[in-house]
Amino acid sequence: MATTEENGDAVRDLARLRAREGGFRGWLKRTADSDVWYSFKTSPVAVAASIVSILMLLSAIFAPWIAPTDPFDLAQIDLMDSELPPAWMAQGDPRFILGTDDQGRDILSTILYGSQISLLVGFASVLFSMAIGIPLGLISGYVGGRLDAIIMRIADIQLSFPAILIAFLIDGIARGVLPRDLHDELALYVLVFAIGVSGWVQYARTVRGSTLVEKNKEYVQAARVIGVRRGPILIRHILPNVLGPVLVIATIHLAIAIITEATLSFLGVGVPPTQPSLGTLIRIGYDFLFSGTWWITIMPGVALIVLVLAINLVGDWLRDALNPKLR
C-alpha cells in the first residue's frame, strides 16, 4: 500500500518537474494538469459564476467606453427624459434599456459606473484586510507566546461584534475627526479603511492556524538550521504555503465587502452621491419606490445581487475544491 502511494507521489513529482520546464507554457501545462482545474472544468455552476463575475468586472472597468451615456456629464442628460421606464415597458424609450432616474440619467450607465465604485471599494477593502490580517497571523503563529495571546484576544473581542457594526463605528468616528468637506473628499478611503479593519480577523486566524502547522515542518526547520532569519523564513518559506485558504476567504470576503459598502452607502454613511456606488444608486431610487418608479431602485439592486451571488458561488466552489477532505 505504502509503496504504491510513494510510486504515485514519485510519478506526480516527475510530472511536476517536467512541467516546470519552460516559463509560461510550463505554467499553463501545470495548471491544466492540476486537480483544481479539473474540478473547475467539471462544475458548470463554477464556470457560469466565474464567467458572470469576470464579465461584470470587465464591464465595470471599461464602463467609460461601453456605457451608452456618461451619467455625470450634465451636457448629455436631459431632464425631459427623467423617470422613463425600461425599454420593454409601455412608455419605455429604446435609447434607455433599463430606463432613466429622476434626473434623466440612463440607469444602465449609472449601474456600470456604480459597479466600478463598488468593486473598487470591495477589492481595496479585501487587500487592506489582508495587509493587516496576514502579517498579524504569521507573527502570531510563528512567534507565539504573549504576543500571540494579545493579538488573538483582540481578534476574539472584535469577532464578538458583527463586522458591519465596526464599519459603522469607524465611519462615525472618521466623521467626527475629519471636517465635513474633507470627509466627503476622503469618503472612499474612509470606507476602505472601515470595511478593511472590520474584516482582518478572519485572515489573521486562518493564517495563524496554518502557520502553526507549517512552522514545525522539515523545510522550515531546515531553513532555520542553515541560518535563515525569521523575516525571510516567514515571507519566503511559510507565507507561500499558507495562502491557499486565504484565497478562499478573500473571495467570500469580497462579496461581504461589496455588500457592506452597499449597505453603508444605502444608509447614507458611505460614498457621497457625487460618486455613486450601487448602494448609493439604490438609496437614491428608494425615495421614488412609493411613487411607482420602481426601476430606479430595483435595477441597481438586481445588478448588486447578481454580482454578489456570482462571487459567492465562485467562493463556494473554491472552498470545496481546495478542501482536501472533500476530494
Please give the residue ranges that form the binding site for other proteins (CB under 8 A): 157, 160-162, 164-165, 168-169, 171-173, 175-177, 255, 259, 262-263, 266-269, 282, 286, 289-290, 292, 294, 297-298, 301, 304-305, 308-309, 312-313
Taking the complex as a whole, how short is the minimal distance between the CB of residue 42 and other proteins, in angstroms?
A: 19
DSSP state of 86: P
Nearer to other proteins (CB atom), residue 94 or residue 176: 176
Q: Which is nearer to other proteins, 164 or 228 (CB)?
A: 164
Residue 316 and residue 95: Cα distance in Å, rounded? Answer: 38
Cell of 307: 454580482
In the bound state with other proteins, the residue whose beta carbon lies nearer, of 138 and 248, is: 248
CA nearest neighbour of 275 among 104, 120, 54, 96: 120
Least Cβ distance, residue 261 to other proteins (angstroms): 10
Distance CA 205, CA 253 (A): 14
Q: Nearest distance from residue 217's CB to other proteins, in Å?
A: 27
Quote the least distance from Cβ 283 to other proteins, whole Å. 9
Q: 138 or 269: whose CB is closer to other proteins?
A: 269
| Cβ closest to other proteins, residue 40 vs residue 288 | 288
What is the distance in angstroms between the CA of the first residue and the CA of the last residue of the chain?
20
- Find the helix packing angle between 107-143 and 180-197, rounded to 10°: 50
**Could you please report the per-residue DSSP string of 261-318?**
HHHHHHTTSSS-TTS--HHHHHHHHHTTGGGT-THHHHHHHHHHHHHHHHHHHHHHHH
Shortest distance in whole angstroms from residue 30 CB to other proteins: 32
19, 31, 35, 38, 290 from 41: Cα distances, Å: 20, 12, 10, 5, 46
Nearer to other proteins, 162 or 240 (CB): 162
Neighbours of 161 (CB within 10 A): 11
- Least Å from the CB of residue 313 to other proteins: 8
